[in-house]
Amino acid sequence: MRTPAGRATRAAELIDDRTPFVSATVVRAQCPTSARPGDSAIVFADGSIEGFVGGQCAEGSVRLAAVPLLESGTSLLLRILPEGADDFPESDGSLTVVNPCLSGGALEIFLEPRLPAPGLAIVGNSPIAHALELFAQSLGFGVQRSAEVPDVAGHIAVVISSHGRNEVEAIRAALGAGVGFIGLVASSARGEAVLSELDLSTEERAAIRTPVGLDIGARTAEEIALSILADLVRSVRIDGLAPPAVESATAPESAVDPVCGMTVMVRADTAHASLNGVDYWFCNPGCRSRFLEEAQVGS
């Protein structure tokens, strides 16, 4: 089991790799329970989990609540109560589930999705490209700058400031990846000349901005970079620009435990039984054993 410092290092690695995950942290634990405040785990899109936030049943509730947050992007306070416990008042940003298999006690676990920063690919080694890289990082973009044409899948924007190098190739790559903001740093005349080399549909042409940037009377490289980022931020905040969808891990299916009634995530490590050609899944091996025992008695 990783230490808190080890999980922090692991989380930093995942952020650097642009891997989405949910951070789960126990903020309240009422005895008897095996978890303690400060215990934490990382939950991935496929429902796999690293770390410790309670026993099998509590962990199952965390998996089910955490995975949808990777799509919504919102945080959640998960309250896990044993059967018969006093209800918590419902409030925005919280979810209460009753876990009949808990031996007692209650848990409150804060779930925070950690999604990759919106990706900005910058093509070129010009002063404007360097200024863009510096400013964009401070605005929270995940910046990738290269003189060559990078892999732009999943990026929210591509800006090309390469003084004629790899411009057509970069535009084609961005269009192929479905990027909605493609900026070419060039004069109006040269920009149109570059675009004339491409056989563009109306939709594709609408994604390309040249000259790119809001008109703020910019003259220096830094001012031009500022105008480009202002254009990009406006597109995100006002026009609703979002990164193109990329293939991600398929969220696992769920099933209802026939013994305790809990909803469980169907994974390779979920307790499972097949009876008369019907598959059943359970929150823990105890429910599975009880189910099979009762089935044998009833046969």
Measured between alpha carbons, how far is 287 from 299 in angstroms, rounded to an integer? 18
179 and 192 housed in the same domain: yes
46 and 136 housed in the same domain: no
181 CB neighbour count, 10 Å cutoff: 23
The residue with tokens 């876990």 is 99
Q: Round the CA-based radius of gyration of the chain to a whole number and report it.
A: 25
242 found inside a domain: no
132 found inside a domain: yes
260 and 186 housed in the same domain: no
245 found inside a domain: no
243 found inside a domain: no
Predicted local distance difference test score (pLDDT) of residue 85: 61
* Reported confidence tier of residue 141, pLDDT bands at 50, 70, 90: very high
Q: What sign does the CA torsion over 201, 206, 207, 210 have?
A: positive
How many folded domains does the chain comprise?
3
69 found inside a domain: yes
74 and 12 housed in the same domain: yes
263 and 155 housed in the same domain: no
Q: Of all residues in the chain, what percent carry a pLDDT higher than 90?
A: 53
Predicted local distance difference test score (pLDDT) of residue 99: 78
Q: Is 212 exposed, middle or buried (0-12, 13-18, 19+ CB in 10 A)?
A: buried
* Reported confidence tier of residue 90, pLDDT bands at 50, 70, 90: low
pLDDT tens for each residue of 62-88: 999 999 998 888 999 999 888 766 655
Tell me: cis bond preceding 32? Omega within 30 of 0 counts: yes
The residue with tokens 């009753």 is 98
106 and 141 housed in the same domain: no
Predicted local distance difference test score (pLDDT) of residue 35: 87
For the CA atoms of 229, 235, 241, 246, what is the dihedral angle to 10 degrees?
Answer: -20
Q: Is 183 strand, coil or helix?
A: strand
110 and 123 housed in the same domain: no
Among 21-35, 80-94, 175-189, top mean pLDDT goes to 175-189
Please say which residue of 211, 237, 263 terminates a domain. Answer: 237
- What are the structure tokens assigned to 284, written together? 């823990």
Please say which residue of 114, 144, 160 terminates a domain. Answer: 114
Strands lying side by side in the sheet with 119-123: 142-146, 119-123, 157-160, 181-184, 208-209
Indicate the average pLDDT of the chain: 88
- What are the structure tokens assigned to 159, written together? 């800006």
196 found inside a domain: yes
Q: What number is the average pLDDT over the span 148-168? A: 92
**DSSP result, 24-49:** EEEEEEESS-S--TT-EEEE-TTS-E
Predicted local distance difference test score (pLDDT) of residue 295: 80
125 and 208 housed in the same domain: yes
Among 4-8, 54-58, 100-104, 189-193, top mean pLDDT goes to 189-193
- What are the structure tokens assigned to 90, written together? 């419902």
Predicted local distance difference test score (pLDDT) of residue 1: 52
The single-letter DSSP state of residue 102 is -
Among 127-131, 152-156, 197-201, 254-258, top mean pLDDT goes to 127-131
Q: Please indicate whether residue 170 or residue 94 has the higher confidence score (pLDDT).
A: 170
147 found inside a domain: yes
Predicted local distance difference test score (pLDDT) of residue 17: 81
Q: Is 233 strand, coil or helix?
A: helix
- At residue 91, does pLDDT exceed 80? no
pLDDT tens for each residue of 27-40: 998 877 788 999 99
CATH number at residue 158: 3.40.50.720
96 and 131 housed in the same domain: no
The DSSP H or E segment spanning 122 is: strand 119-123
Domain that holds residue 199: 119-237
25 and 98 housed in the same domain: yes
Cα 148 from chain centroid (whole Å): 27
Measured between alpha carbons, how far is 120 from 136 in angstroms, rounded to an integer? 8
Q: Please indicate whether residue 18 or residue 223 has the higher confidence score (pLDDT).
A: 223
Predicted local distance difference test score (pLDDT) of residue 137: 92
* Reported confidence tier of residue 245, pLDDT bands at 50, 70, 90: low
Please say which residue of 237, 263, 288 terminates a domain. Answer: 237
Within 13 Å and on the Cβ side, how many CA atoms surround 121?
26
* Reported confidence tier of residue 289, pLDDT bands at 50, 70, 90: confident
244 found inside a domain: no
Q: Of all residues in the chain, what percent carry a pLDDT higher than 70?
A: 91
**Identity at 155, one-letter amino acid code:** H
217 CB neighbour count, 10 Å cutoff: 6
Contact 23, 12 (CB under 8 A): no
- What are the structure tokens assigned to 165, written together? 């190098």
- At residue 118, does pLDDT exceed 80? yes
